[in-house]
A and B are shown apart, each in its own frame.
Chain A
């Protein structure tokens, strides 16, 4: 994977390859408001967003369930890099994913095509192509991608984040959940843009991941030869999978490291530290499986991020820290057991 961005090239159709395209989206990631792992049946019920469409489940290497897409219509402005705005009309899609029966991700996305129709077309034109918005005026895809990633959500501009957030809120208030938050955490927002089908010298995808602030992330992808569906169309599902996978692992890593900070291992109160870290062991540690669901054509993106900054390196360091703290706490308990002076501690409960 290249870590340097290439200068923008004019989009060109590849011979036999997919047309150049742009997809954008925004993903919310957080924990389900449920005290324990949500069982299969409840996951299926929660994600049953559309009659007649299946909730797609897989079990290996981790339980994963994907809802069908819900369609919404938009007619709004989209920002361009050059600071301008242009009108775009079409439909956006939103779905939800539950990973490991614990983590909820809501993701809204659409492809953006530069149509240049100069006017809004009959609505049936857009409903025949769900998940696509078209600019009324002509626009460069690179300009639109950069404009979308400029993170100031301007009023009147395409707001995929709000759509994702509304779905997350709706699902979190479902009666299927017991309403107990198992762990304090912050939702993260990943805003992404992917350009694909580009006439680059290399087939290798390139990516930039940016931590904008505590909870906001931006991901820019450039995928010269995107994965294709059996019918030869761009497999947008594979790109979405990559974005959700990165959002998930970034969230898990962020939440665990914050948890460790909160537990304050340096404070000397090992019992409190162990109690703080307990929920993280239950809810976060089983989730780390970077790139497990990512298509071969896109795995280079994960490999690149593993080299720098090294997500798994940081994760392993954090997990070691958690385990060390627990080991020290256990040792302290054992020491207390053999020491008659602290007999009051013997019956104490280890609160995980």
Chain B
């Protein structure tokens, strides 16, 4: 006799998502930028348009496929300030993009990188941080962690007597230094009125992982883009975390991401990479993405940061 017995709670099912070949982020603006009005917005979009076209051409040349799937997205910074309501910002943004023949497929709000549909995404990523070990870390002692901070190496040891012995200062060390260190210590969160407030690099790291389709909550995908609400709400928090503006768009998630950013985001993205390098990835999701991308003839680098590209633009 053939019998079979399963218990659902004993398994973890990993949900698959669809992937574009590339997810392109078209600029990132602070709320203050939007306050400067439609003229400023047009100027910004005009600024990135040639870089977008160049990037598309470069990518399709490097990864020739019969039908390249590329989606574009735009992230609105509503987490640290909520100044311009969706009803004003979205029509202006779409108008500026249309004038430059750019299509914004997806619009996301940054607060959705902290919590999306009840799932605390930033906390989920923070729980997976594996701080880079210095040589000699063998497991015998607990990892040294400064709550709310993450560095790319070893900090200067804190010595109460340092003030008495100024010469005893010990330099911090980058774990992967080439001859000399570029040490970076990233603040992941602070507390405001007893509530945790995530830092911009932490949210931007979540944003990259979201776009790469690598995050799951209990095995389920965490982002499902929804259509633009007919009546735009007055507050960003009432918007879906990711809105699909173009019904014909390729998938929001991409095997790779490219961000076209102003050079003021250079330090932020350095911090983002310090964070992403230390996120322990979901083995199963990583395997599936690698298999699918490889099967499509567009293999992805095994490391997450290898899948992320940038164009940093200065006003030249």
Indicate, yes or no, whether A interacts with B.
Answer: yes
A60, B5: Cβ atoms closer than 8 Å: yes
> Does B165 sit at the interface, judged by CB under 8 A?
no
Could you give, for residues 89-132 of chain B, a 1 whenever the CB lies within 8 Å of some chain A CB and a 0 otherwise? 00000000000000000000000000000011001100110111
> Does B315 sit at the interface, judged by CB under 8 A?
no
List residues 259-292 of chain B with CB under 8 A from any CB of chain A: 276-281, 283, 286-288, 291
* Chain A residues in 8 Å Cβ range of B305: 124
> Does A54 sit at the interface, judged by CB under 8 A?
yes
A53, B175: Cβ atoms closer than 8 Å: no
Given the known A-B contacts A71-B128, A130-B281, are A124 and B9 also in contact in the complex, defined by CB atoms under 8 Å?
A: no
Q: Which one, A1-9, A154-162, A191-199, A202-210, is touching chain B?
A: A154-162
When A and B form their complex, what is the total count of cross-chain residue pairs whose Cβ atoms lie within 8 Å? 124
Cα separation A91 to B291 with both chains bound (whole Å):
22
Which chain B residue shows the least CB distance to A87?
A: B135
> Does A268 sit at the interface, judged by CB under 8 A?
no
> Does B146 sit at the interface, judged by CB under 8 A?
no
Cα separation A307 to B139 with both chains bound (whole Å):
37
Which chain B residue shows the least CB distance to A108?
A: B139
> Does B304 sit at the interface, judged by CB under 8 A?
yes
List residues 32-53 of chain A with CB under 8 A from any CB of chain B: 50-53
* Chain B residues in 8 Å Cβ range of A56: 9-12
Cα separation A89 to B138 with both chains bound (whole Å):
10
Which chain A residue shows the least CB distance to B134?
A: A75
B303, A128: Cβ atoms closer than 8 Å: yes
A73, B287: Cβ atoms closer than 8 Å: no
> Does A96 sit at the interface, judged by CB under 8 A?
no
Within the complex, what minimum Cβ distance (angstroms) separates A125 from chain B? Answer: 6
> Does B143 sit at the interface, judged by CB under 8 A?
yes
> Does A163 sit at the interface, judged by CB under 8 A?
yes
B124, A52: Cβ atoms closer than 8 Å: yes
> Does A342 sit at the interface, judged by CB under 8 A?
no
Within the complex, what minimum Cβ distance (angstroms) separates B278 from chain A? Answer: 6
* Chain A residues in 8 Å Cβ range of B217: 52
* Chain B residues in 8 Å Cβ range of A160: 139
B130, A91: Cβ atoms closer than 8 Å: yes
List residues 61-108 of chain A with CB under 8 A from any CB of chain B: 64, 71-77, 87, 89, 91-92, 108
A72, B12: Cβ atoms closer than 8 Å: no
How many of chain A's residues have a CB under 8 angstroms from any CB in B? 44
> Does A214 sit at the interface, judged by CB under 8 A?
no
Within the complex, what minimum Cβ distance (angstroms) separates A47 from chain B? Answer: 12
Which chain A residue shows the least CB distance to B219?
A: A54
A159, B139: Cβ atoms closer than 8 Å: yes
A77, B138: Cβ atoms closer than 8 Å: yes
List residues 141-194 of chain B with CB under 8 A from any CB of chain A: 141-143, 175-176
Within the complex, what minimum Cβ distance (angstroms) separates A229 from chain B? Answer: 8
Across the interface, A125 reaches (CB within 8 A) one of B141, B143, B279, B303, namely B303
Which chain A residue shows the least CB distance to B135?
A: A75
Within the complex, what minimum Cβ distance (angstroms) separates B60 from chain A? Answer: 26
Cα separation A156 to B137 with both chains bound (whole Å):
8
Within the complex, what minimum Cβ distance (angstroms) separates A342 from chain B? Answer: 52
A91, B137: Cβ atoms closer than 8 Å: no
Cα separation A53 to B215 with both chains bound (whole Å):
11
> Does A320 sit at the interface, judged by CB under 8 A?
no
Cα separation A108 to B120 with both chains bound (whole Å):
27
Given the known A-B contacts A58-B10, A123-B176, A233-B287, are A75 and B277 also in contact in the complex, defined by CB atoms under 8 Å?
A: no
In the complex, the 9 A-B pairs of residues with the closest C-beta atoms, listed nearest first: A76-B138, A71-B280, A58-B10, A73-B133, A52-B124, A124-B303, A124-B277, A159-B140, A159-B139
Q: Which residues of B approach A to under 8 Å, CB–CB? A: 5, 7, 9-12, 119-120, 123-124, 127-128, 130-143, 175-176, 215-219, 276-281, 283, 286-288, 291, 302-306
Can you list 16 contacts pairing A with B, beta carbon distance less than 8 Å?
A52-B215, A54-B218, A57-B9, A58-B10, A60-B5, A64-B10, A73-B131, A75-B134, A76-B137, A89-B133, A122-B277, A123-B175, A124-B276, A129-B286, A156-B138, A231-B287
Beyond A54-B219, A57-B10, A123-B277, 17 extra complex contacts between A and B, CB < 8 Å: A51-B120, A51-B127, A52-B215, A52-B218, A54-B12, A58-B7, A73-B137, A75-B133, A87-B135, A89-B133, A123-B175, A123-B176, A128-B304, A130-B281, A130-B283, A162-B140, A231-B288
